[in-house]
Amino acid sequence: MKRSLSSTPEDIGIQSVAHGKERIVLGNALLHLPRIIKESVPKAARHVLISDVNVYAKHGEKLVQVLRDSGLQPFVKVLPAGEGSKNRELKAEIEDWMLSHACNRDTCVIAFGGGVVGDLTGYVAATYLRGVDFIQVPTTLLAMVDSSLGGKTGIDAPAGKNLLGAFHHPKAVFIDPTYLKTLPKREFVNGMAEIIKTAAIRDPLLFEFLERNIEDILSLEETVLRKIIMTCATIKAEVVALDDKEAGIRCILNYGHTIGHAIEALVFPDLLHGECVSIGMVMELELANIIGHLKSSSTIGRVSRLCQTYGLPVTLPKGLAPMDILTKMGLDKKNAGKKNPMCYFEKYWGCF
C-alpha cells in the first residue's frame, strides 16, 4: 500500500477519517473535543471521564472545564499511573463507582490518557451493563498511533499482559498532538517503535519519510508529527476494517509483539513496551530470514538502524535466556494450539 506524505495538514482545524467502526479525528481537544463527543454519541445522557494522576495533573482540569462550558457534566475518576492499574480489582472499583453514580446504558465513557487508561477504560465500557459507548482521547504517542485504535481492550493477569479483555470499538478516537509536548522523551521514543512497525509492515513511503526526517520528528515539529500520526492511524484503521477479530491480515499488526511481549513480561519496568517491540522486530526479522520469508536480508539492517537512530534498543538485555522467552511466548493469547501467531511472515509480509 502506498500513500502520499506530501500534503500538509492545516495548522488549525480538524482532520477526520472514518474506517469501519471508528472515526479518527486529529485536532485541538480544548477547541473541538466537546463537539466530537456530542456528534459521536448524541444520545448520551451521562459522561464519565477516566484519566490517571499524571495526565490529569497536567491537562485534566482544563479539559473538564471545557467540557462543562459546552454543557457536558462529566463524572471524573482519576487512577494511579502505570501498567499496574490494568488489573481486575481496579476494573471492579471503576464499575462500582459508576453504578454509585447511576450511570445507565446511555452513558458515554471517555478515556483520557495513555495506553493503560485506554485499555482499562475500554474494557470497562465493553462489559458495563453489557456494553456502553466510549471515546478514546490518547495522550501518548504510542496510544495515538496504536493502542487507542482497533477496538482491543483489556487488562493484565498474573500469567501475562492483556490476557483478559474484549473487542469493543470506540465511537471516536480524538488525537491532539499538542499533548506530546509534555511527554518525557523516553515515552515519545517508546511510541516511535509502533510507528516504525507500521511503516515496515505496510508503507515503504512512510518508512523512507522516517529515515529522512529524524531531526524534525525528534524535535516534535508539529506538521511532521501530524503527518505521521494520521498516516499510522489510517493504516491501522484500514487493516482492522479488513479483519476486525484478527482472523487473518490483522495479524501483521503484531509484528515485533510476539517476541516483544515475551521480553516485556520478563524485564518490565526496566524496558518499556515500545523498547521491547523494537527488539522483537529485529529478532523476528532474523527468524523470518532464516526460514526464507524475507525478500532481502538487508531489511534486517535497515529496520535495526532506524530503530537505533531514534534511540530504541535492538538487542536482548544481558542475562535474558532464550528459553525464558520461548516459555513466555507459549502464553501468547493469539496462539492456536501449538502454533505461534507469527503468521504474517507466511502470508502478508513484503512491504520492502
* Digit-coded pLDDT (tens) for 287-308: 989 988 888 899 999 999 999 9
User: How much is the average pLDDT of 125-133?
Assistant: 98
Q: Establish whether 250 is a catalytic residue.
A: yes
At residue 342 the predicted structure's pLDDT band, cuts being 50, 70 and 90, is low
Q: Establish whether 38 is a catalytic residue.
A: no
CB atoms under 10 Å from CB of 264, counted, come to: 25
* pLDDT, greater one: 243 or 101: 101
Catalytic choice (257, 264, 275, 284): 257
- Residues near 46 by Cβ (< 8 Å), separated by ≥ 6? 75, 101, 102, 103, 104, 106, 107, 108
Rounded CA separation 343/333 (Å): 14
Q: Establish whether 194 is a catalytic residue.
A: yes
User: How much is the average pLDDT of 208-230?
Assistant: 96
Q: Establish whether 273 is a catalytic residue.
A: yes
Does the pLDDT at position 2 exceed 50? no
Does the pLDDT at position 76 exceed 90? yes
Q: What percent of the chain has pLDDT over 90?
A: 74
Q: Which domains does the chain have, with CATH numbers?
A: 15-181 (3.40.50.1970), 183-347 (1.20.1090.10)
Q: Establish whether 190 is a catalytic residue.
A: no
* Torsions phi, psi for 115 (to 5 deg): -65, -35
Does the pLDDT at position 183 exceed 50? yes
| pLDDT recorded at residue 338 | 55
Catalytic choice (54, 168, 194, 284): 194
Q: Establish whether 130 is a catalytic residue.
A: yes
At residue 220 the predicted structure's pLDDT band, cuts being 50, 70 and 90, is very high
- Per-residue pLDDT of 258-268, as tens digits, reads 999 999 989 98
* pLDDT, greater one: 251 or 172: 172
| pLDDT recorded at residue 113 | 98
Catalytic choice (43, 130, 318, 338): 130
Rounded CA separation 41/51 (Å): 19
Does the pLDDT at position 211 exceed 90? yes
Q: Establish whether 152 is a catalytic residue.
A: yes
| pLDDT recorded at residue 294 | 84
- Per-residue pLDDT of 224-252, as tens digits, reads 999 999 999 999 999 998 888 888 888 89
The C-alpha cell that represents 199 in the structure block: 511503516
Q: Establish whether 47 is a catalytic residue.
A: no
Q: Establish whether 246 is a catalytic residue.
A: yes
Does the pLDDT at position 9 exceed 60? no
Catalytic choice (161, 226, 250, 328): 250
* pLDDT, greater one: 45 or 341: 45
Could you tell me if residue 111 is left (phi over 0), alpha (psi between -120 and 50 degrees) or otherwise beta?
beta
Q: Establish whether 181 is a catalytic residue.
A: no
Catalytic choice (152, 168, 169, 171): 152
- Per-residue pLDDT of 326-339, as tens digits, reads 888 876 656 555 55
Q: Which of 52-66, 139-153, 154-168 has the lowest mean pLDDT?
A: 154-168
| pLDDT recorded at residue 282 | 96
Does the pLDDT at position 69 exceed 80? yes
Catalytic choice (83, 93, 95, 246): 246
Catalytic choice (46, 197, 236, 328): 236
| pLDDT recorded at residue 291 | 87
| Alpha carbon distance, N-terminus to C-terminus of the chain | 11
Rounded CA separation 343/154 (Å): 23
Does the pLDDT at position 116 exceed 90? yes
**Mean pLDDT score of the chain:** 90
